[in-house]
Amino acid sequence: SAAEKGGFDWFMRKEIYDQPKAVADTLLGRHDASGALRLDEIRIAPEELRAVDKIIVIACGTSFYAGMVAKYAIEHWTRIPCEVELASEFRYRDPIVGPTTLVVSISQSGETADTLMAIRHAREQKAKVLAICNTNGSTIPRESDAVIYTHAGPEIGVASTKGFLTQLVACYLLGLYLAQVRGTKFSDEIALLIDELDKIPAAIERQLGDLDGVLQLAADFADAPSVLFLGRHVGYPVALEGALKLKELAYIHAEGFAAGELKHGPIALIEDQLPVFVVMPPPGRDLVHDKVISNIQEIRARGARTIVLAEEGDEVAAPYADVMITLPKVPTLLQPLVAIVPLQVFACELATRKGHDVDQPRNLAKSVTVE
């Protein structure tokens, strides 16, 4: 009913608007006033965490894209090699897993069969398994050594939104906690990042208050046969997730690419009027910002329509954008938390315009309990 949806047309739209609270709830109580992390729920002893020599993140769908972001953050902050793998591929390739491997599963539902089978395999190989999960008492956390619960609240829309954002938060908390336990970052650096995380809910709230441009885009591109998304560094998983949302909800052909790969193939797809979303890294991130600017020029030169998601004040990107969507200024590794929001809204709005059932897209299930 409309009341359950808090006055919104769809659960998904409500869940998009719930995101500031979901993020804040997931941060709540997990650090003290000095910015030191308190993750007592990780029942893996600090000595064991110090002995970890490899991390493998396993997940499916949207949760997999959260895992891709986790790799960038965890490796950067902890210097522990971190792989990320689709759960459905993991156990079938004879992965190298042992007692000093930390396997991190990410699952909103905690019931996804592919992910469950993967962690069972990891445990048979004596790996430690830590679940990032939104559903208390579900199967995956029950079968894991430890769990970090995301506190998104129930997610009803089949396409994950607040589930994804809170998974990202849990991954950042895990990365910073490992850095704290292993001493790979100074405590003041950790405190600074925690402080930046604490500012994210307000930043998303501001974004949600300023969506006219995105709603207009959905109107403009409602008949587009295909939409591309480009991103680099942590913008790459954002591009993949932006494309997934559009496939799931609007049934439009959509693909995400690593911007640097454009020249190695996808550029052949660029044609007149094709909408191309580009997630710009924050300016000043060594040479990557310039390289993505060149990508936009190449796309534009071929007549495509560029929709550029760039940090507010990014004067360099603005002239190359047909449409500019500004993002709040946040540290680079945290940018997915704000970059995905307009893409969620775009997909939801476009699917609504096409008359699709946004909460129950065709052929999809909220949790897939068969392999």
Among the options 247, 291, 354, 366, which is catalytic? 366
What distance in Å separates the CA atoms of residue 195 and residue 243, rounded to the nearest whole number?
30
Task: Please list every residue from 25 through 64 that binds ligand G6P, using CB under 6 A.
Answer: 60-63
CB of 284 to ligand G6P, least distance (A): 33
Stretch that binds ligand G6P, among 22-30, 92-100, 279-287, 362-370 (CB under 6 A): 362-370
Stretch that binds ligand G6P, among 107-115, 124-132, 171-179, 323-331 (CB under 6 A): 107-115
Residue of 26, 78, 109, 180 that binds ligand G6P (CB under 6 A) = 109
Q: Is 367 a residue that touches ligand G6P (CB under 6 A)?
A: yes
Cβ-based nearer residue to ligand G6P, 242 or 275 = 242
Binding mask 295-334 for ligand G6P (x = CB under 6 A): ----------------------------------------
Q: Which is nearer to ligand G6P, 349 or 359 (CB)?
A: 359
Site size with ligand G6P, rule: CB under 6 A: 16
Shortest Å, Cβ 62 to ligand G6P:
4
Measured distance CA(292)–CA(274) in Å, rounded: 18
The correct pick among 19, 26, 88, 112 for binding ligand G6P (CB under 6 A) is 112
Q: Which stretch binds ligand G6P (CB under 6 A): 22-30, 49-57, 105-113, 227-235?
A: 105-113
Q: Is 107 in the site for ligand G6P (CB under 6 A)?
A: yes
- The 3-state secondary structure of the chain, one letter per residue: CCCCCCCCCCHHHHHHHCHHHHHHHHHCCCECCCCCECCCCCCCCHHHHHHCCEEEEEECHHHHHHHHHHHHHHHHHHCCCEEEEEHHHHHHHCCCCCCCEEEEEEECCCCCHHHHHHHHHHHHCCCEEEEEECCCCCHHHHCCCEEEECCCCCCCCCCCCHHHHHHHHHHHHHHHHHHHHHCCCCHHHHHHHHHHHHHHHHHHHHHHCCCHHHHHHHHHCCCCCEEEEEECCCHHHHHHHHHHHHHHHHCCEEEEEEHHHHHHCHHHHCCCCCEEEEECCCCCCCCHHHHHHHHHHHHHHCCCEEEEEEECCCCCCHHHCCEEEEECCCCHHHCHHHHHHHHHHHHHHHHHHCCCCCCCCCCCCCCCCCC
187 binds ligand G6P, rule: CB under 6 A: no
Asked if residue 360 binds ligand G6P (CB under 6 A), the reply is no
Instruction: Among 53, 263, 364, 369, indicate the residue that binds ligand G6P (CB under 6 A).
Output: 364
Residue in the shown chain whose Cβ atom is closest to ligand G6P: 61
Which of 19, 115, 161, 295 touches ligand G6P (CB under 6 A)? 115
Q: Counting contacts by CB under 6 A, is residue 201 touching ligand G6P?
A: no
In this complex, which beta carbon is closest to ligand G6P, that of residue 113 or of residue 316?
Answer: 113
Residue 347: CB minimum distance to ligand G6P, A: 12
Under 8 Å between Cβ of 300 and 306: yes
The reply to whether 108 sits near ligand G6P by the rule CB under 6 A is yes
Angle (nearest 5°) at CA 247 between 280 and 346: 50
Q: Catalytic: 366?
A: yes
Contact 102, 52 (CB under 8 A): yes
| Nearer CB in complex with ligand G6P: 170/324 | 170
Strand order in the sheet with 275-279: 253-258, 226-231, 275-279, 305-311, 323-327
Residue at 27: amino acid letter: L
List the interface residues with ligand G6P, window 149-168 (CB under 6 A). Answer: 158-160
- State which residue, 86 or 224, has the beta carbon closest to ligand G6P: 86
Q: In the complex, what is the shortest distance from the CB of residue 132 to ligand G6P, in angstroms, rounded to a whole number?
A: 9
Residues noted as catalytic: 366
Positions that interact with ligand G6P (CB under 6 A) = 60-63, 107-109, 112, 115, 158-160, 364, 366-368
